Structure 1
Amino acid sequence: MPHTAAEREIAEELRSVRPERTSAYLAALRGARPAVLARLWRGLVHEPLPWIVARVSGSDGVTLRLVDGRRLHGPPSDPWATGTAVAALELDGVPYDHPARLMAALRVPGGARFAAELDHSVASMALSRTARRPAGPPVEPWEWEQRSPDGHPYHPGCRSRPGFSAAEQLAYAPEHRPVVGVRLTPVTEATVRGPWPPEWRDGTAVLVPVHPWQGAHVLSGRTLLHGPRAHPLLSLRTLALDRTLHVKTALTTQLTSAVRDISAYSVHWALATSELVERVADRLGGRLHIARTLAAAGAGTPDLAAVLRESPYVYAGTGEQVVPVAELPAYFASHSPRERLARIHAFARLALGVCLDLLGLGVALEAHGQNLLAVVDAHGWPRRLVYRDLADIRVSPARLVRHGFPPPPLTGRLLDDDPTVLRRKVLGCLISGALGPLAGNATTLGTLLETATRALPPSPDLRALRTEELPVKALTLMRMSSGGEQWALLPNPVVADPVTADRRN
């Protein structure tokens, strides 16, 4: 099995820093390649890529005709399937078993850069799969965020971590369960919102928390002091300082779909946004908690800023746990198939009801598997939701005012009254980031959406969910272009009688 550049780089470093992991890493490549190739094939089959001019499905799979006349053939692709593997794809009869090599061979705009990301994604996934898996249930709440080695179930760049060496992944990535030493850097004339901790001040200077990777690679010229020890969460750059307090740091590198910095805009509006969403969420009768933004500080540049946030785990009552939605498939796996399906349906009813009700009031959450968490009782039933990280929500001033709220005290990109934008934000994230992975295939997802929406109050947003194509982020297209968010529209799998659905809505 000839190795690619990223695979060789990590293997060579492991031989130097962690030789005992090298053989496990090389063995894990055999599973990581088809896992990432399956994610890439999903994007090629279902996203509006401009260099694919036709898609033909047959009994033996799907054939894509490229703009230059070549043909790419592979197996059937269910856009909602998870845990799948594709052994190889054939480009004009030549098999390719590595996603990076296939992307390079396609010779399409943006392909060379994306091929490098796919190479990193395979290599990093294989390294993640060498992590020792927990033997029992979590002891500390953040341990729920450190259990999955594979990342986003649909994103071909699910484990791409450019700029991270093997040693840095082992030191900072949540699946390896390290303890991370936060750095503090003094900033004079910092922008501060909220009560900044007095222990993080030095005279007139504010001590801003810095991720150690950021300190080494981006802020190496600054004074960096040793700060508290913390535990990395699903987003890697967000760290649990203890059971009650999390810190979101800037990490100026490309992880999955975005560079993880913190804009001056986000710092400026952090508290106002949190306070607004809390007020609106109060209308939902306790079904949704907002992990409050407590303070934010920055130097006016996106590479040096931090946000202090309430831990979502403080909302667990006696006998309850708070589980990130991305980890619900693993959490529900301990139940029998029938019990598991019942709990998935209960979660879908709760999540769709909460998100659509909040959208109707004027707040569109980006409710994917990292940002949305479920409060589950001692028997595994979802009872309430917690939402964290308000940086990319959307707020509709018109809807808020219509429901008796004052105009939002915000400006800029968070505000939008366009129903299409608002629905894409909510449904695109909730379905592709939460419900799709729980369902695991299109048929189950259709049944899940149908049963979960039966009793919901009629609204234009609900009608769109039940009758229109489903928006999902075009994850492959986004990585091959520079146009920001891009969208694909997938066939709606809702199993519903049109007459009944029309009468209901």
Structure 2
Amino acid sequence: MYFPASPAEEAVAAELASVRPALEPAYTGALGGARAAVLTRLWRALAFEPLPWVAGRERGSESLVLRLAGGGRLEGPLPDAYATGAYVREVLLDGKPHRQAARLMAALGVPHGEGFAAELDGSTASLALSRAGQPAAGPDDLARRTTREWEQRVVDGHPYHPNCRSRPGFSVAEELAYAPEHRPVVELGLAAVRAEDCLVTGDWPAELRDGGRILVPVHPWQAEHVLGRERPRSGFAAHPLMALRTLAPVAGGAHVKTALTTRLTSSVRDISGYSIETAAAVSAFAQALSERLDGRLHVTRTLGAATAHSPDLAAVLREPPEVYADAAAGERVLPVAALAWFPPARSAAWLAEFAGLALSVCLRVLELGVALEAHGQNLLVVVSATGAPLRLVYRDLADIRISPARLVRHGLPVPPLAGRLITDDAALLRRKLFGSVLTGALGATAGSAPAFAEAFASAGAAGLPATADTEALLTRGLPTKALTLMRLSPGVPGDQWAELPNPLNGG
């Protein structure tokens, strides 16, 4: 059966023919796989999230049927909550086949579905574009690849979000110029702002000052589309990292997190004043906490942060994770999201060793009083010259959660903080950690529920701290953000959650 190109797929093809015609055949060839990848993510959400218009779910021997509130029937393959491939090629809505997530969402006719369908269409087309430009790996490529190159190898974006490559507001030319998977060099600008009009925390470097002015690094997309002010000064060249708006200067030094006021996956990527205000205190606190982990966890320091009292004009300077690897000994640092392309990580023994390390460290940190958002982008692993997992590196402290009561219980100082980072609610703390390290990092690395269960069974629970958090992990379902429900609930603030079967207890 023929499934015609969608509006976004056609628009990308037309622009690609103008700006990069040599890439057009590869883009066209990647569309089928991109459609399946986004449809797989959407089917996972439909199968597990508490969507109000799903009246019931009937699991058969080979398929799952969703009974819809309006009387419709949606059928697809049995879902795997932790599968990160593209195993869903087609679902049936009242007997009619659908192979494109956007057209399926539009056909469902649910509240706010039309806007979400447009996002899914853009995500699919952008994912095909991301896959189109990937070079073949050479025989020595894995040995030579730097941390930055490993980051740029993560082509498919969020492993579970249907909006894995949604980049509204980006033209094809801008994706090619700024997106990490296309491996460009980006020229950051510098916005000169009077010091008295800025909030600065930490140690803002002399090279980003000019007399009485603070020079705030600005992403060129932000300068073009959002700031609406005089053009920033010429700045410096940098490589975009997995987060797209965070870049590693070509000349080396601190990584730069910039504001990028557009919605990528679920969130608008500006930088709040709260993040700038708390940056130095949170970084100092995290450094002290990491000293309690016997060298098994390092936290990249926030070196400086500045804002012109606007979330659209702010930047954070962060220590590169590579400083925590011994390059002379052949050690490397890989983001967990890149482990799918790391050959040692494909073995059950390696996964078991890594799972034991990640769970024992993150649960210990939680017991001490901090829930890390340890998904595949924030969590990195230091590996030996032979590829063995040695220790962890965590970056980006903007969305951790801190429990003063737990800190006090362990004789740790409570940082001088208030606001959204602070909570003593055990359920919220566990959701933050379990929903990232379990469902976002370990599950995505394993790639399927059986592989996830096998890795944990091999690792065993003996090395985990004997705490109430560990008991909850081993006896209950696993929380995960209900990412599709959140996109279909624009009037509901904050995170919403689903519960997944827990392979750690046979769920």
Counterpart in the other structure of 2:335: 324
Contact 2:159–2:444 (Cα < 8 Å) also in 1: yes
**In the superposition, relative to structure 1, how do residues 495 and 418 fare at CA in structure 2: closer, same or farther (>3 Å)?**
closer
Runs in 1 of length 4+ with deviation above 4 angstroms?
none
1:10 is the counterpart of 2:20: no
1:174 paired residue number: 180
SS of the counterpart of 1:95? strand
Distance 1:196 1:218 in 2: 24
Q: 1:299 aligns with which of 291, 308, 328?
A: 308
Whole-Å separation in 2 of the counterparts to 1:399 and 1:434: 25
Q: Which residue of 2 aligns with 1:501?
A: none
8 Å contact kept, 2:12–2:172: yes
Does 2:195 align with 1:193?
A: no
Of stretches 136-145 and 234-243 in structure 1, the one that deviates more from structure 2 is 136-145
Q: Offset of 1:191 from its aligned partner?
A: 0.5
1:385 has 2:392 as partner: yes
Q: Identify the residue that residue 358 of structure 2 maps to in structure 1.
A: 351
| Unaligned runs of at least 5 residues, structure 2 | none
2:151 is matched with 145
Give, in angstroms, the shift of residue 237 of structure 1.
0.5
Question: Per-residue deviation at 1:419?
Answer: 0.3
- Find the aligned partners of 1:406 and 1:457 in 2 and give their Cα distance: 22
Match of 1:219 among 210, 227, 239: 227
Letter in 2 for 1:160: S
Aligned residue number for residue 269 of structure 1: 278
- For 1:90, the equivalent position in structure 2 comes to 92
**Deviations 1:270-294, CA, capped at 9 Å, x for gaps:** 0100101111111111111010000
User: 1:369: which partner in 2?
Assistant: 376
The answer as to whether partners of 2:188 and 2:217 remain within 8 angstroms in 1 is yes
Which 10-residue stretch deviates more, 365-374 or 134-143? 134-143
The residue identity in structure 1 corresponding to 2:25 is S
CA distance, structure 2, for counterparts of residue 24 and residue 442 of structure 1: 32
Query: Hey, what's the Cα distance between the residues in 1 that align with 2:257 and 2:317?
Result: 6
Instruction: Tell me the secondary structure at the aligned position of residue 132 of structure 2.
Output: coil
1:278 to 287, 300, 312: 287
Q: 2:124 aligns with which of 106, 111, 122?
A: 122
Return the offset for 1:334.
5.2
Asked if 2 retains the 8 angstrom alpha-carbon contact of 1:352 and 1:453, the reply is: no
Q: CA deviation at 1:495?
A: 4.4
Offset of residue 444 of structure 1: 2.3
8 A contact 2:404–2:423 mirrored in 1: yes
Looking at structure 2, the residues matched to 456 and 148 of structure 1 have their Cα atoms a distance apart, in angstroms, of 30
**C-alpha deviation, 1:244, in angstroms:** 3.7
**Aligned partners of 1:175, 1:108: CA distance in 2, in Å?**
34
Q: Deviations over 1:379-412 (max 9, x none)?
A: 1111110000000000000001111112221111
Q: 1:30 is matched with which residue: 24, 29, 32?
A: 32
Instruction: Specify the alignment match of 2:428 in structure 1.
Output: 421
For 2:265, the equivalent position in structure 1 comes to 256
> Match of 1:329, SS?
helix
Distance 1:269 1:151 in 2: 28
SS in 2 for 1:417: coil
- CA deviation digits over 1:12-61, x for unaligned, max 9? 11111111111211121111111110110000001110110100011240
In structure 2, distance between residues paired with 1:161 and 1:62 = 31
Partner of 2:418: 411
Q: Work out whether residues 23 and 133 of structure 2, in 8 Å CA contact, stay in contact via their aligned partners in 1.
A: no
Q: Name the residue aligned to 1:396.
A: 403
| Alpha-carbon distance in structure 1 between the residues aligned to 2:416 and 2:81 | 39
TM-score (norm 2): 0.95
Tell me, what secondary structure is at the counterpart of 2:504? coil
Distance 2:132 2:414 in 1: 51
Over the residues paired in the alignment, what is the CA RMSD in angstroms?
1.5
Q: What SS class does the counterpart of residue 442 from structure 2 fall into? A: helix
User: Within the alignment, does 1:443 sit opposite 2:450 as a pair?
Assistant: yes
Cα offset, 1:114, TM superposition: 0.7
Secondary structure of the 1:414 match is coil
Q: Aligned residues, how many?
A: 493
Give the TM-score taking structure 1 as reference length.
0.95
Which residue of the partner structure matches residue 157 of structure 1? 163
SS at match of 1:129: helix
Answer yes or no: is 1:66 the counterpart of 2:76: no
Could you tell me which runs of 5 or more consecutive residues in structure 1 were left unpaired when the two chains were aligned: 499-505
Answer whether contact 2:188 2:235 (CA < 8 A) is retained.
Answer: yes
The whole-number CA distance in structure 2 between the counterparts of 1:373 and 1:418 is 27
TM-superposed CA distance for 1:243, in Å, is 4.2
TM-superposed CA distance for 1:494, in Å, is 1.8
Relative distance call for 1:218 and 1:457 in structure 2 (3 A) is same
Q: Is 1:64–1:73's contact at 8 Å kept on the other side of the alignment?
A: yes
Mapped contact 1:243–1:314 kept (Cα < 8 A): no
* Contact 1:352-1:452 at 8 Å conserved across structures: no
Residues 415-440 of structure 1 show CA distances to partners (whole Å, capped at 9, x for unaligned) of: 00000000011111001211101222
For 1:91 and 1:401, how far apart are their aligned partners in 2? 54
Looking at structure 1, the residues matched to 504 and 87 of structure 2 have their Cα atoms a distance apart, in angstroms, of 25
Residue in structure 2 matching 1:456, options 451, 457, 464: 464
1:489 aligns with 2:469: no
CA distance in 2, matches of 1:456, 1:38: 33
Give 1:308 deviation, angstroms. Answer: 0.1
Cα distance in 1 for residues equivalent to 2:154 and 2:378: 16
